[in-house]
A = this chain, B = another copy of it.
């Protein structure tokens, strides 16, 4: 019916194909892990012949690396919430919201990231030792300041960060478990809202930073 249209420019072709491949790869890596994923499966999901994948990404490792780096970018962007905040209530609330939104919108990416870390971060070790460490140290300093200013109880900033990561990431990585316990249905809008509110309430109350 509709004229197929395909006078695509070179640039577009490259961009679209890479995008399709990365999306397919993210899903397959998330579902099967690096070792269990096959280039053939990724190719099928992306709607391309396998050899075409190797035209854009020379090796499976390279493709995987690209996927993981993409996630890491998204992950780091959620950090901005923290900086702009004037206190723990604003900052931590915004961060929880942002990370929960990632868990909801990019569950596959979250799983790939979790898998990568669980297996000892073979491709992201350098990032963890540089970017992630800097990011973490910066937020630890912010939290420390909040504590000094009496805006929250004196809890260990690092363990607090781990708790934030853990609780939010859990809804992506263990989403299948949660769904199963939810009667086999994925969480509704309301349930996601409740999850966010629960986390914010418990943690903010727990660190003595409840809004006036």
Q: Which B-chain residue is minimally distant from A107 (CB atoms)?
A: B118
Given A181-B136, A199-B163, A117:B174 Cβ within 8 A? yes
Query: How many copies make up the complex?
Result: 2
A181 to chain B, nearest CB (A): 6
Interface size on A (CB < 8 Å)? Answer: 55
Q: Is the CB of B162 within 8 A of A118?
A: no
Contact with B along A111-148 (1 / 0, CB 8 A): 10011011111000100110011001000000000000
Q: Is A32 an interface residue (CB 8 A)?
A: yes
Q: Is the CB of A133 within 8 A of B181?
A: yes
Which of A46-54, A78-86, A164-172 is the contact stretch?
A164-172
Report B-chain residues with C-beta under 8 Å of the C-beta of A207.
Answer: 202, 205-206
Q: Which B-chain residue is minimally distant from A181 (CB atoms)?
A: B136
Q: Is A65 an interface residue (CB 8 A)?
A: no
Report B-chain residues with C-beta under 8 Å of the C-beta of A202.
Answer: 155, 160, 163, 202-203, 206-207
Bound complex: CA A119 to CA B37 (Å) = 12
**What 14 new A-B contacts, CB under 8 Å, besides A118-B174, A156-B194?**
A34-B36, A35-B36, A114-B118, A114-B173, A121-B176, A121-B180, A129-B180, A136-B181, A155-B202, A166-B166, A166-B170, A166-B174, A169-B170, A202-B206
Residues of A within 8 A of B (CB): 30-37, 111, 114-115, 117-121, 125, 128-129, 132-133, 136, 153, 155-156, 158-160, 162-163, 165-167, 169-171, 173-174, 176-178, 180-181, 194-195, 198-199, 201-208
